[in-house]
Amino acid sequence: MSWWHRIRRIISGGGRESASFVAALLGVLVLAGAALGQGISRTSVAVSDGLTWLGDDQRGEVVQINPGSGKPQTRLQISGPDSQLEIAQEDGRLIVLNRRTGEITVIDLATLLASGRRQAPPGATSKVLVANGMVFVVDRATGTVHTADPLTLADVGQTWQAGQPLADAVVDERGVLWLVDHGGTLRSLDWSDDEERFEERSQRQVTGAGPRTVLVPHGQGVTLIGLDGGVVVRDGTGEDVDSSTDRSDAEVIAAQSSPIDLVPASVPSSSVVVLVVGRDVLRVDVGAMGCPKPGRPAVFRDKVYVPCKGSGKVIILDRGGSRGGDDVRTSGGADPELVFDDGRLFVNVPGSSTGVLVDADGATRSLTIRSPELPVKDPDRSPPPSVPPPPPPNPNEPQKPPRNNGNGNGPTTEVSPPPTTPSTPPSTGSTAPAAPAGVTVREKSRTASALVVTVSWTAATSADPVVGYTVAGSGSFSGGSVSAQSAGTSADLSVPCAGSTFCSGGRLDVTVRASTASTAGAAGMAAFTITPPPNTPPPNTPPPTTTTPPPPPPPVTTTTTPPPPPPPPPPSLPTAGAVVITGVSGGRTMPWRTFSMSPPADWASHNGRCEVVNRTQGYAVGIPCNATTAQIGVEEGSNSIVVRAYAATGAGQVDSAARNVLYTFDECQGKPGCIPRMAPAGVETAPMGAGGLGLLACAFLLRIGVRRGEEEK
């Protein structure tokens, strides 16, 4: 008899025995479900975030490694050879800083395409910090912190300034920014989405902290190690410590993060590793362990791993500073570096074909990092279309690029598209569109804060229907790049003027690519040279002096052709880039936001139409131009919101300053007892396990009741 027939027979018998059996069965099933559910959750997390990116400095590549197979899956060419790459990964984005050049690149991991770039000072002065969907770009030499959009890396809100150089800056797991300046002032800052600026949480003067002081972040708070003054301070953790140690003027290299009670830092020139263990400070002579030049350490499973520069190995220390295990040997390439990701420790050797993965039990296994047969991808290749299919074409829409008829404010520069040399065909076998021809750029409007140009082109030829165009501009302005999407044959680009002299004489390089439903084509290009704004002559300027008096004016009956009338004035538009949105309300998990607005006079009195636009998602809501509040929907991740004004004639538009908001999808939507399907492993184990045990206990009590009833008969 099958197990299902046995269950049916017991249940059909009725009575408390069947009830006790059913309760026991449900208890077992719930416990099994809890165990299986935990496994599924872990599997989901492993599948969605189970890959790690390592840098290959010698080739300027980043390589995606599958720890399960120990093999590389993707290679991206980020920069040229002989780079110095630092990598951060969060929220589906990879951010790479090349210290050699100062270039910062953000990669969208869904498409493996570069979505934004910006320039920072080269060398050790720059630092990129990522936490809770925010990106902070730190320039320690100037003592400034820029908040950058995680998708485009363009500046968001106000720049924070310390007023003097910074010794170090880190961010803890709560997203609090911690900074210490050369004068020894330790600060903690919170970023305000509503105000788009940093708000100071705490400030204290640490006697002994100076230019060589380093910070190590924790789950909350930091540990400050200032060997230049012999001071160690733990702050903001709830278990704060003030301690002292031997002074040293040498360079200190601290762990990128650590637990509160085990904080390591290396002093390479002294062959010493400093361990802050609880309230004690230990100095470990690792030179005696065959590690004369220790590199940046890392804490893994209550052990301290220390890479040894020039020695081809990593040594392991326990909490007491003694050897905590066998050395991890490396081969080839440069000095080993430690990468901690997804609960695993990787020993990466830039330039080497292999690396080492350290498992949770301390066992090691080899990884293949360099695989010549794996093709290298270009993150700047043509992106897939990100615009929806356009509406049916308007028969009245001109298909030729507009010529400069004198109404524009600047020159038009046209560059012929490159020869249509066929590129590598996409994997789908589709034919990529040709480069759009006749790309022209002309100045549309200019203010102190922004320069708006109109880019026009001829429709690209393509075997498959073109669903849209991607227009991008790059130059030496703040943020370094701007882009726009269009379903037609023209688009506006708004270039920021603040923070650079770009709008007084820069060069804007523009590319236009057509996209079909499956692929994107070659780029049509143009270069636009920005001329300084013309100087207005002073009033009543006398005409140039001549040697002979001017002839008398001709009589009114002359037949001389009068001069042509002046061209009509450009369409009236308010100031581009003006601050119109002043506040935003609605929680981070709300799928819509309410924006407070205070339009300047030229916006409030604008005689055209206005709308609030989610530029990231392509949504728009019409509003009065003098409106003070509006609502619009947002979607997962960062959303860029602007107010857009259109000329009354319909020819031209400008955007206000953008307001960026983040949205995190809440699967439970406040329902009590709800557990998200993608919850971290172990979330559902406790309630489900408790429910299973309760049902088993119920079954046991019911069974006792059955037996007592039988004895009383």
Burial class (CB in 10 A: 0-12, 13-18, 19+), 324: middle
Give Cα 522 to chain centroid, integer Å: 27
Instruction: Identify the helix (H) or strand (E) that includes residue 41.
Output: helix 15-49
Residue matched to tokens 């037949």: 559
Those residues of the chain that have pLDDT short of 70 are: 1-50, 91, 333, 382-431, 479, 517-518, 533-571, 650, 666-713
Task: Say how far apart CA 434 and CA 460 lie, in whole Å.
Answer: 6
Q: pLDDT digits over 627-674, tens only?
A: 988 988 888 888 889 999 988 876 788 899 988 888 877 666 555 556
Question: 432, 413, 411: which is closest to 422 by C-alpha?
Answer: 432
Task: Say how far apart CA 424 and CA 295 lie, in whole Å.
Answer: 42
Instruction: Identify the helix (H) or strand (E) that includes residue 28.
Output: helix 15-49
Task: Say how far apart CA 60 and CA 388 lie, in whole Å.
Answer: 35
In this prediction, residue 249 carries a pLDDT of 86
Going edge to edge, which strands form the sheet with 52-56? Answer: 52-56, 61-66, 71-77, 376-377
Question: 47, 49, 29: which is closest to 37 by C-alpha?
Answer: 29
Instruction: Identify the helix (H) or strand (E) that includes residue 163.
Output: none
Whether 574 and 654 have beta carbons less than 8 Å apart is answered as yes
Task: Say how far apart CA 320 and CA 282 lie, in whole Å.
Answer: 8
Question: 646, 583, 64: which is closest to 348 by C-alpha?
Answer: 64
- In this structure, whether the domain defined by 431-529 belongs to CATH 1.10.3730.10 is answered with no
Can 431-529 and 581-663 be said to share one CATH topology? Answer: yes
Q: Note the pTM of the prediction, 2 decimals.
A: 0.53
Whether 493 and 453 have beta carbons less than 8 Å apart is answered as yes
In this prediction, residue 135 carries a pLDDT of 92
DSSP letter (8 states) at residue 16: H
In this prediction, residue 433 carries a pLDDT of 83
Q: Characterize the bridge pairing of strands 619-623 and 610-614.
A: antiparallel
Residue type, 559: T
Instruction: Identify the helix (H) or strand (E) that includes residue 563.
Output: none
> What are phi and psi for residue 399, nearest 5 degrees?
-100, -5
| Contact residues for 616 (Cβ-Cβ < 8 A; gap 6+) | 151, 635, 637, 638, 639, 640
| Contact residues for 182 (Cβ-Cβ < 8 A; gap 6+) | 164, 165, 166, 167, 210, 211
Q: Which two tokens stand for residue 18?
A: 């069947």
Q: Which two tokens stand for residue 92?
A: 């589906």
Whether 175 and 167 have beta carbons less than 8 Å apart is answered as no
Instruction: Identify the helix (H) or strand (E) that includes residue 437.
Output: none
* CATH fold label, 581-663: Immunoglobulin-like (2.60.40)
The β-bridge partners of 529 are 507
b or e along 664-691 (b: 16 or more beta carbons within 10 Å of the residue's beta carbon)? eeeeeeeeeeeeeeebebeebeeebbeb
The ranges assigned to domains in the chain are 431-529, 581-663
Task: Say how far apart CA 492 and CA 484 lie, in whole Å.
Answer: 7
Task: Say how far apart CA 261 and CA 223 lie, in whole Å.
Answer: 10
